[in-house]
Amino acid sequence: MLIEEISESNLRELTQLMLELWPECVYDEEYQNCRRIMTKSDETCYLIKSDKQYAAFIQLSLRHDYVEGTETSPVGYIEGIYVKPEFRKSGLAGQLVQQGEKWVREKGCRQYASDTEIDNQVSISFHKKQGFTEISRLVCFVKDL
């Protein structure tokens, strides 16, 4: 297994993995978003390649605004993490979290944060296993006017 940072050579594959995680997204928009990430110093993505196939990715950012439960700024943030179903339970997500931790430390962060949907028990358990502490639960509302 090889961990690669986002680059021109893996942009298409990264975009496809993102669509598997976020199926409501549109390929062209995500592809352009990936191109934008490559130009930023406060965002990145890493992918894991297994033989000739990309199996997983993590999208990271530095958040300078308030992040729930944190005391420092910027905070390294996991914007998304995904492992193809056939590669799950093999430690790939943990490797990506560790790679992300290395990246955010290099950027001077003292805290690393993430979030998940309130009912996503698999993700909640995964985060706890990776050493994250649950800070709070949130229910969001909107009212159309």
Residue type, 51: D
> Is residue 82's pLDDT more than 90?
yes
Largest CA distance in the chain: 52
Q: Of 136, 129, 139, nearest to 81 (Cα)? A: 129
Q: Of 117, 111, 110, nearest to 133 (Cα)? A: 111
Alpha helices, H only, 22-120: 27-38, 92-106
Residue ranges of domains in the chain, CATH in brackets? 2-115 (3.40.630.30)
Alpha helices, H only, the chain: 11-21, 27-38, 92-106, 121-129
Q: Of 76, 65, 79, nearest to 105 (Cα)? A: 76
Query: Which DSSP symbol is given to 41?
Result: S
Using one digit for the tens of pLDDT, what is the confidence trace for 127-139? 999 999 999 988 8
Using one digit for the tens of pLDDT, what is the confidence trace for 20-57? 999 999 999 999 999 999 999 999 999 999 988 999 99
